[in-house]
Amino acid sequence: MSVDCIFCKIVHGTIPSKKIYEDDDVIAFNDINPSAKVHFLIVPKVHVDSLMGCEAQHQALLGKVLLLAPRLAKEQGLAGFKTLINTGKEGGQEVFHLHVHVLGGGYKLPQN
Ligand code: AMP
Ligand code: ZN
């Protein structure tokens, strides 16, 4: 856990979230400022700053996170969706705890 990390606080339940999924390794919750009708974040519980901070040891976890995207998207009623991983300040990342955005269901979808 990183003490100043907002997603670590969500993982540990010290700040609330609209959780849609949780297991031993991963949590998923609705984005607080949605860019689409459905917009949730899939977040590994372990604190890793970004995709650039991932190493070989994270391979299985990354696979698990990606495989959850279609499963949770379907559960949220989506037949298709966009995924987005902002990486680093120059990549538009604002929360430095690795997460995958899943967006769908119309309006304001990012085009790049
Ligand atoms: P990124 O630019 O990829 O780092 O995106 C961070 C995302 O986290 C943004 O879409 C925010 O709206 C979202 N976010 C920030 N704080 C919270 C929170 N407490 N609960 C849910 N989503 C959040
Ligand atoms: Zn964290």
Phi, psi of 49 (to 5 degrees): -55, -45
**What residues does ligand 1 touch, defined as CB less than 6 Å away?**
6, 17, 29, 31-33, 86, 92-95
Work out the average pLDDT over 18-34. Answer: 98
Which of 2, 4, 29 minimizes the C-alpha distance to 100?
29
- 3-class SS string, the chain: CCCCCHHHHHHCCCCCCCEEEECCCEEEEECCCCCCCEEEEEEECCCCCCHHHCCHHHHHHHHHHHHHHHHHHHHCCCCCCEEECCCCHHHCCCCCCCCEEEEECCCCCCCC
Q: Whose CA is nearest to atom 16 of ligand 1?
A: 32
Per residue in 65-84, pLDDT tens? 999 999 999 999 999 999 99
Q: Report, as residue numbers or ranges, the catalytic residues.
A: 99
| Domain spans in the chain, listed from the N-terminal domain onward | 6-107
Q: Answer with the residue of higher pLDDT: 40 or 1.
A: 40
Strand partners, 42: 28, 100
pTM: 0.95
Task: Indicate which ligand has the atom closest to the C-alpha of 47.
Answer: 2
Which CATH superfamily hosts domain 6-107?
HIT-like (3.30.428.10)
Tokens in use for 66? 């990606």
